[in-house]
Chains A and B, each alone.
Chain A
Amino acid sequence: MSTLAASNKRSFWSVVWDYITTVDHKKIGVLYLIAGGFFFLLGGLEALAIRWQLVKPMNDFVSAGFYNELITMHGTTMIFLAAMPLIFAFMNAVIPLQIGARDVAFPFLNSLGLWLFVFGGIMLNVGWFTGGAADAGWTAYTPLSTISPGEGMDYYVIGLQISGAGTLMAGINFLVTIINMRAPGMTYMRLPLFTWTSFVASALILFAFPALTVGLFLMMFDRMFDSAFFDPAMGGNSIIWQHLFWIFGHPEVYILILPIFGVFSEVVSTFSRKRLFGYSAMVFATVLIAFLGFMVWAHHMFTVGMGAAANAIFAVATMTIAVPTGIKIFNWLFTMWRGSIQITTPMLYALGFIPTFTIGGMTGVMLAAATADYQYHDSYFVIAHFHYVIIGGTVFGLLAATHYWWPRMFNRMLDERLGKITFWIFFVGFHLTFMIQHFLGLWGMPRRYWVYLPDQGLDLGNAISTAGAFLMAIAVLILLYNIIKTAIKGEPCGDDPWDGRTLEWAVPIPAPHYNFKQVPLVRGLDPLWVEKMDGRKEMTPSEPLDDIHMPNNTVLPFVMTIGFFIAGFGFIYQKYDNALNALIFVGMGIALGAMLVRSLKDDLGYHIPKKELEKEARK
């Protein structure tokens, strides 16, 4: 906890103020990690409650209504508030360092994106305390979601709209950062794969999220202002929501997995001490997956009744995605081939990922076969499939990234022994939970079932699944213990603890807030490795030492977010009392006012003088 520890001397509130106003990508990364981690634990608790309800037939641990809130919030929380923000945490912490930049392209937007996500997440969860959270499933199919009583779904709509806006900003920010802020010599075909995959994922965010934005607007209008988009009685059509949702939703799964492919590419390459096998094929496969990802959304809708032609086309289109994904799997295997494999905790996750994700990919192809999908669809088979790719892919990857980049972010190594124990318990628990669910689905258990009848051949499978879920919970607790232990007792790890290859390991640990005193010159793929092989320990600078320009801290993003947050309550409650419209005006007034200040007030940042940098160097 370098940044936190160093600031211990300052008062608590000055640290809080510093983090609220910060535009430093490294601190924003830490905030994403904390907030995303919190929501991950929250979503995990919801998952445990779901599994406990299903431990035996006709259980009455929770009521039907509460169960529906649990499943809805579990899905929504894990996708929007845990997985994506945790990915953003590492994108923020690592990408500017990997490309040799001093900050992101839009530090202000970076902060705004973070706060929008945080307050959108809070908004989503406010429903718990006001008579019920969202309860129409994370996919919120209309008209169930538009007729759902209470404010739960309103919080879903507004919360996702706010956090979605934040995500869109983060996406644009990273696109521009990676294009414009690369160090000299860092050509596109020398970008580390994590940067490449994050770049492509950012493009997916840019083109996928607006579809969700529109869908949410339409749902908001239907729920709050009595429009008729999804109301069949008024000529509306509920299927439009499904299209909009999945035009966003399918690219979303690649947003979740592509950066993780990048993480594993870095980890496998580092701990095999070998450059990535087929780098250009990997880049090509990433772009191809992203491109195809936009053409296949309707495979979530095979049973909607689109007709044989549409089903057949989308089935075949979906299958083609298996090809570039397969290329990636083989490239990782052949990166290890003739390498020198060191099994560290991050590498262990990578090794666990390969078979697990292969199974997830296999069931993916099986699901793509439309006629087979008539059986799988909306059953536990689908639950099993997407947990195999999202946990077996994204969560394994995030855990690998956590262990791999923890020293980079906090100047401490997480305990390796505890890390490996965590992995094994999590790995076994995961397969125990979800392998059996493939069969539960085929034995006739549809998803989102609050109870199942006795004597349907589903009892044992569900009990096994629940046991596995609790094993995963134990693993997460051990990880938490590891983090706390490291924060209290851990020793500073020093520079480059993993014998790294990419540029982020060339920056001293802890990193100065301007990252690079002199922007380095990149001479090849894996730039630090290139220098190491030439017998140097440091990067060659690409410029003489000079003043460094940095952006100012600002509280405006936080204020803007508070404005939207207040307006959100106005939108939700105006149907009860017109006076509450005032909240909309106050909130939007604050937000637009902050925008105006941002637009009209000059903010040129500041310079760190050359002399000061020289002084630091002498220390």
Chain B
Amino acid sequence: MKKWVGKVRMLGLFSLMAIFLTACGKENLTALAPKGYSAERSFEVIIISILVMTIVFVVVMAIFTYVLIKYRRKKGQEDYVPEQIEGNKTLEIVWTIIPILLLVIIAVPTIATTYDLADESQKDDSINVNVTGKQFWWNFDYVNEGIQTSQDLYIPVDTRVYLNMISGDVIHSFWVPTLAGKMDVNPENENVMYIEAYEEGVYWGKCAEFCGDSHSLMDFKIVVVSQEEYDQWIENMGTPMEEEPATASAQEGKALFEQSCLSCHATDGATTAPAIGPNLTNFGNRTMIAGVLEHNKEELVEWIVDPASKKPGNGMLNAPYLQEGISTEDAEKIADYLLELKSTEVVPEFEPFEDQ
């Protein structure tokens, strides 16, 4: 029996190594390939602690294996009574002192980075975004720029951005693993964290605090662009769209939208009114629909007709238009209109589901 046990263990070990090495998770989602300041600080502490802990594990397993092989009861030893050892002072002091020293190695960087990541000294000179988490979407309010948007948070590369976070209902948690660890979004007090990204790109964000039925579908993105693009984006977002929709379908869609949707969804990026539903300015350039659906007309129509099937328990289920019901044709017109809402040339390259 012992032989196959050993084999199974080896096999398990190798397959684990293989998984770990070949797939370090998805780029711009995994915390193991950090591309931002905070994630990098966290990653350093993770690595230090793994190294220290590996030493401990190796020592334990070495003693464990030795003892198990050497002192296993063998044939003819059935009546053998070992010496009854009470203990050993020296040994006990050793395995008290050494772990303390090892813990110090972990504790020092932990304390240093804890204070570092809570640093608010540059807050007043930085970009400030008020983040509001709601079941199950995110609102982003650029305080000084007077811009409101949702779901996609645009920030300039290599720049510290402060997020002032509060919840509109239950507790959420803001997590962009590749850029920064998480911070809870509480209903009664504002939490502040900063993020700084090293590379341009689109990063996956997740809600990490259990918040109800569609907790697992409360994704958002952080779109990191160059400083120039960011400036342009801000300027474009604050400028209302002048031209009418191009197609007849989209024109009808606009009328329908203004009749049924506008009471909750603003299409004006410079609005100062509090957002009831996500602000849809520049919706045509969104990375995804509702944070989790591929950005195309088909998905959008399905979403408008039956949002419950895509995100159970979301706020749109109470919308009056759904009580009356909506035809697929009308939904298509609204979709045509929404997909034409493009305020800016700053468009992130993004393929959410590359393998499909």
Contacts and interface: CB of A to CB of B under 8 A. Distances in A.
Given A136-B210, A338-B82, A319 B216 contact: no
B210 A232 contact: no
B19 A439 contact: yes
A237 B186 CA distance: 10
Contact of B56 (A320, A343, A362, A432): A362
B169 to A, nearest CB: 7
Contacts of B106: 319, 365, 369
Given A336-B68, A439-B19, A278 B92 contact: yes
Interface in B101-134: 103, 106-107, 109-111, 113-115, 117-118
Nearest to A364: B53
Given A238-B186, A272-B71, A439-B20, A374 B117 contact: yes
Nearest to B309: A60
Nearest to A453: B292
Interface stretch (B171-179, B247-255, B256-264, B317-325): B171-179
Contact of A342 (B20, B73, B109, B213): B73
Given A281-B87, A305-B191, A450-B216, A315 B356 contact: no
Contact of A141 (B57, B209, B217, B292): B209
A455 B350 CA distance: 13
Contacts, number: 312
A278 B67 CA distance: 17
B91 A366 contact: no
Given A303-B173, A456-B26, A457-B30, A371 B181 contact: yes
Interface stretch (B41-49, B225-233, B295-303): B41-49
Given A358-B60, A374-B117, A144 B210 contact: yes
A330 interface: yes
Nearest to A529: B84
Interface on chain A toward B: helix, strand, loop, or mixed SS?
A: helix
Interface in A228-256: 232, 236-239
B183 interface: yes
A29 interface: no
Nearest to B45: A372
Interface string B199-240: 000001011111111111101000000000000000000000
Nearest to B205: A444
B289 interface: no
A312 B114 contact: yes
Interface in A363-386: 363, 365-366, 368-375, 377-379
Nearest to B69: A341
Interface string B32-51: 10000011011101100110
Contacts of A373: 181
Nearest to A71: B210
Interface in A158-188: none
Contact of A334 (B43, B88, B211): B88
B355 interface: yes
Given A303-B183, A436-B19, A334 B91 contact: yes
Nearest to B83: A338
Interface stretch (A61-69, A214-222, A473-481, A578-586): A61-69
A44 interface: no
B181 A457 contact: no
A137 B210 contact: yes
B49 A338 contact: no
Given A303-B183, A343-B72, A460-B23, A315 B216 contact: no
B57 A340 contact: no
Contacts of A449: 215-216
A339 B73 CA distance: 8
A337 B84 CA distance: 11
A342 B84 CA distance: 16
Nearest to B15: A464
A124 interface: no
Contacts of B178: 444
Contacts of B342: none
A466 interface: no
A63 B214 CA distance: 10
B161 interface: no
Nearest to A358: B60
A311 interface: yes
B289 to A, nearest CB: 13
A278 B56 CA distance: 20
A354 B188 contact: no
Contacts of A336: 67-68, 71
B182 A374 contact: yes
Interface in A318-374: 319-320, 322-323, 326-327, 329-331, 333-334, 336-343, 351, 354-355, 358-359, 362-363, 365-366, 368-374
A372 B216 CA distance: 22
Given A365-B103, A374-B38, A375-B31, A279 B26 contact: no
Contacts of B83: 274, 338
Interface string B341-355: 000000000001111
B12 interface: yes
A431 interface: yes
B99 interface: yes
A307 interface: yes
A533 B83 CA distance: 12
Contacts of B63: 330, 333, 337
B174 to A, nearest CB: 9
B144 interface: no
Given A65-B313, A275-B85, A341-B68, A444 B25 contact: yes
B71 A446 contact: no
Contacts of B110: 312, 315-316, 368-372
Contacts of B50: 366
Contacts of A342: 73
Contacts of B171: 141, 143-144, 238
A583 B107 CA distance: 55
Contact of B30 (A359, A442, A454, A455): A442
A449 B208 CA distance: 9
B184 A304 contact: yes
Nearest to B32: A442
A448 B19 contact: no
A272 to B, nearest CB: 7
B96 interface: yes
A444 B187 contact: no
9 contacts: A272-B71, A303-B208, A330-B60, A337-B67, A338-B71, A339-B71, A358-B61, A369-B106, A371-B114
Given A305-B191, A312-B110, A330-B92, 5 more contacts: A311-B118, A312-B115, A366-B53, A439-B25, A455-B355
